[in-house]
């Protein structure tokens, strides 16, 4: 697995998550011809990030990424922050604040972290920043709900690549 370039905000490089490539997930699946094909990295603090370069197909108003696409990227990175901790859960609530327009073609980085865990509920935060200067573009808060153990085991087998390098 490859190592992500240094992130200007936290200065930490990380290990690529061992995500299987053979599925149609809109966010991370490589087989979905319309998907984002995001790649995820994690650091020792448990944060997970992905770089996203919005393309014209992600456009809302002319030259700007659609808010739904931004929300999707933030939701996806929060999901992988959960899964990186070997917890399988689904989004129960997502709240996004859009701070600045996200320009088409402008490299961005979404970073997520778990902030609280209470029984089956997990609270997370995420932010989307312009890579060139660290400018905050959007931020999100969410609640994820843990799935039953049998489903968690099925998803672990389906989405993590056992042949890949170990996670940090």
Confidence (pLDDT) at 5: 40
Confidence (pLDDT) at 6: 44
Confidence (pLDDT) at 29: 66
Confidence (pLDDT) at 135: 97
Q: Does residue 159 sit in helix, strand or coil?
A: helix
Q: Where are the alpha helices (DSSP H) in the chain?
A: 67-84, 149-159
Q: How far is CA 108 from CA 12, 44, 120, 121, in A?
A: 16, 21, 31, 29
Confidence (pLDDT) at 26: 64
Measured distance CA(159)–CA(166) in Å, rounded: 14
Could you tell me the mean pLDDT of each successive run of 10 residues in the chain, 168 residues long? Answer: 40 70 68 77 92 93 96 95 92 98 97 97 98 97 95 82 52
């Amino acid at each position: 697995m490859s190592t992500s370039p240094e992130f200007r905000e936290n200065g930490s490089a990380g290990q690529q998550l061992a995500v299987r490539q053979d599925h149609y997930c809109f966010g991370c699946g490589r087989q979905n011809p319309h998907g984002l094909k995001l790649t995820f990295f994690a650091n020792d603090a448990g944060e997970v990030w992905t770089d996203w370069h919005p393309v014209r197909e992600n456009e809302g108003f002319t030259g700007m990424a659609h808010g739904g696409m931004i929300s999707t990227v933030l939701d996806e990175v929060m999901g992988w922050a959960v899964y990186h901790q070997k917890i399988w859960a689904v989004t129960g609530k997502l709240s996004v604040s859009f701070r600045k327009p996200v320009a088409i073609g402008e490299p961005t980085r979404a970073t997520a972290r778990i902030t609280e865990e209470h029984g089956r509920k997990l609270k997370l935060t995420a932010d989307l920043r312009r890579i060139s200067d660290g400018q905050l573009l959007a931020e999100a808060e969410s609640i994820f709900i843990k799935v039953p153990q049998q489903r968690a085991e099925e998803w672990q087998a389906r989405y993590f690549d056992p042949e890949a390098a170990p996670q940090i």
